[in-house]
Chains A and B, each alone.
Chain A
Amino acid sequence: MKCKRCKKPAVVGLPSHHTAFCEECFYVYFTRQVETAIRRQKMFTFDERILVALSGGKDSLTLMLALHELGYDVAGLHIDLGIYESSVRARAKVESFCEQHGLTLQVLEMEAEGLPMPDVKEHINRPVCSVCGKVKRHYFNKIAREGNFDALATGHNLDDEVARLFANTLRWDSGYLSDQGPTLPAAEGFVRKVKPLYRLSEFETANYAFLRGIEIHSDPCPFASGASFTSHKELIGELEHRSPGSKFQFYDGFLKRGREAFKMLEKEVGEELSPCEDCGSPTSVEICGVCRVKRAVRDKKAAAAQ
């Protein structure tokens, strides 16, 4: 394969774009996709402060580096979930990456918050992945608000977004369909949330991370048990192979022609939010979901110790 731009030997082939790039031209393509995402979805400006959620995986570290090199004012937030060696290794990768590139990093330990994931797994009778996701979203928003950041950026890529849209569509979950998208504007109690990698596939972010020599944390979570999103990604990957470009068309078509209808529906039936009595985060009940989990873990640990 030859690079479409400069005709040198290609290192990345992209069937969805009927193209291929050499290393240098791939960086140009990748950066332009990020810039287009930020501009078209009105994500943020060069005057704003962006908090980037860093898990240690290829997507979040790639996002952080790309935004930093574009000149945005970024700081990283890593949540140490307290999952034994897995969390130790993930945190080490994030700390080393930020040190290497001179990037600001804040680490929040779930152990100190009374919510280490092993305790959640032991004491809460719900799928731990679901609670973990909820806890992370809660603290990302809380830290972004407390730090007066203008936006919270996550490394969700096109495959993540399409898998989530596919799952939400299978259930016709109007609540989730009403607010899925690359930019979720700030609302009472919620910071603006943005996904600048939404135009780029997992394959593209993996290539970028590899070529840039980013050391990533790639071990599967010891608590994950073949999440449904992974099987959805495989199905969608097969569809993309047979019909290149269909992933982006599905997602972009939803943004342009589907989401607004669900937004209007949710305006009619959506629940009113008020501050959580414990932590002040927005919730539709008196105590937010994360504070209820925190209370349950604390009570059950105390009962088990007696």
Chain B
Amino acid sequence: MIKVRLEPDGKDLEFHGLKTVLGLLNKLGLRPTMALVVRDGGLLTPDIRIKSGDEILVRKVTSAG
């Protein structure tokens, strides 16, 4: 299971079976330049592999307003 924190929505989500950051973004309906993806304090590019047990922060970049 991969735990995902989505900001600024403040939602906590869980996913199974995802293999890459791109797969995660697709699942969230986001394009690669619409959000920062962070694991262990470091930025991830869309091609990076993710695995069960990862805790990932997805921070949308579009400012509201």
Contact = CB atoms under 8 A, between A and B. Distances in A.
Interface residues of B, number: 20
A219 interface: yes
Of A10, A203, A230, A238, the most chain B CB neighbours within 10 A belong to: A203
Contacts of B38: 210
Interface string A51-78: 0000001110000000000000000000
Given A159-B62, A233-B62, A238-B31, A218 B7 contact: yes
A36 B32 CA distance: 26
A1 B38 CA distance: 16
Interface string B32-45: 11101010001111
Nearest to A227: B65
Of A57, A58, A237, the most chain B CB neighbours within 10 A belong to: A237
Interface residues of A, number: 36
Contacts of B42: 11
A237 B31 contact: yes
B47 A237 contact: no
A55 B23 CA distance: 34
A15 B64 contact: no
B62 A207 contact: no
A50 to B, nearest CB: 22
Main secondary structure of the interface of A (DSSP, over half): helix
A141 interface: no
Interface string A239-267: 01100000000000000000000000000
A15 B31 CA distance: 11
A202 B63 contact: yes
Interface string B9-52: 00000000000000000000001111010100011111100000
B33 A203 contact: yes
25 contacts: A10-B45, A11-B45, A13-B32, A58-B61, A58-B63, A59-B63, A129-B65, A202-B61, A202-B62, A202-B63, A203-B36, A207-B36, A207-B43, A210-B59, A218-B63, A221-B65, A224-B64, A226-B64, A229-B65, A230-B65, A237-B31, A237-B62, A238-B31, A240-B31, A241-B33
Interface of B: 7-8, 31-34, 36, 38, 42-47, 59, 61-65
Interface of A: 1, 10-16, 20, 57-59, 129, 159, 201-203, 206-207, 210-211, 218-221, 224, 226-227, 229-230, 233-234, 237-238, 240-241
